[in-house]
């Protein structure tokens, strides 16, 4: 069951965030992007860099470059995309590859990589998770990024 967003009030004074967002299924991804940016702004993020890529499959290579070149200064990388299932297994292959790559990036570079590349069954699920403010996964991604930034700041080397 899909749960509504929690009303979290995390802050990010001075935080730097990157968002890597797919252009494919832009109607849905753009709504998540707007919500994520609004949540980060509300929290006081110092900087939010947005990088657009053609599709979900291209997200990891950009996330990797950001993690490798800016890991010391980034609070988190948020990855946004929407993959809709079709009649073949292609969506499953893309979803698995992206998920595995994003996990590897955050472990290798010790920067939180927030995974909101959604693999959805249909447009109804996409509308609910991307366009409905009560359930928008862009807001949720930003809240997770803020929480992880706080966790990482609190850890010692």
Rg of the chain over all Cα atoms, to the nearest angstrom = 15
Please indicate whether residue 11 or residue 109 has the higher confidence score (pLDDT). Answer: 109
Domain count, the chain: 1
Residue 32 is assigned to a structural domain of this protein: yes
pLDDT (0 to 100) of residue 45 = 94
Strand order in the sheet with 76-84: 47-53, 16-22, 76-84, 113-120
Residue 133 is assigned to a structural domain of this protein: yes
Residue 147 is assigned to a structural domain of this protein: yes
Averaged confidence pLDDT in the chain: 93
Our CA dihedral for 102, 121, 140, 8, rounded to 10 degrees, sits at -140
Structural domain boundaries, residue 58: 16-151
**Does the annotation count 90 as an active-site position?**
yes
Catalytic site residue from 27, 90, 93, 100: 90
pLDDT (0 to 100) of residue 13 = 67
Residue 106 is assigned to a structural domain of this protein: yes
State the CATH number of the domain containing residue 81.
3.40.50.960
Q: Which residues of 99-112 are buried (b: 16+ CB within 10 A; e: fewer)?
A: eebbeebbeebebb
Residue 157 is assigned to a structural domain of this protein: no
In the beta sheet, which residues pair with residue 14? Answer: none
Average pLDDT over residues 112-120: 97
What are the pLDDT digits (tens) for 36-53? Answer: 999 999 999 999 999 999
pLDDT at 27 over 80: yes
Q: Which pTM was predicted?
A: 0.93
pLDDT (0 to 100) of residue 3 = 72
pLDDT (0 to 100) of residue 71 = 76
What are the pLDDT digits (tens) for 88-107? Answer: 999 999 999 999 999 999 99
Is there a contact between 53 and 62 (Cβ–Cβ < 8 Å)? yes
Residue 125 is assigned to a structural domain of this protein: yes
């Amino acid at each position: 069951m899909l749960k509504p967003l929690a009303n979290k009030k995390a802050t990010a004074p001075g935080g730097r965030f990157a968002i890597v967002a797919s252009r494919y299924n832009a109607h849905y991804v753009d709504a998540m992007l707007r919500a994520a940016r609004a949540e980060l702004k509300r929290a006081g993020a110092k900087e939010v860099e947005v990088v657009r890529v053609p599709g979900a499959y291209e997200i990891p290579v950009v996330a990797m470059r950001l993690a490798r070149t800016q890991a010391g200064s980034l609070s988190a990388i948020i990855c946004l995309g929407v993959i809709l299932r079709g009649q073949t297994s292609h969506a499953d292959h893309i979803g698995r590859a992206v998920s595995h790559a994003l996990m590897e990036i955050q472990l290798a570079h010790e920067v939180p990589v927030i995974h909101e590349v959604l693999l959805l069954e249909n447009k109804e699920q996409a509308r609910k998770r991307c366009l409905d403010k009560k359930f928008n996964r862009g807001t949720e991604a930003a809240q997770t990024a803020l929480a992880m930034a706080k966790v990482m700041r609190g850890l010692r080397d």
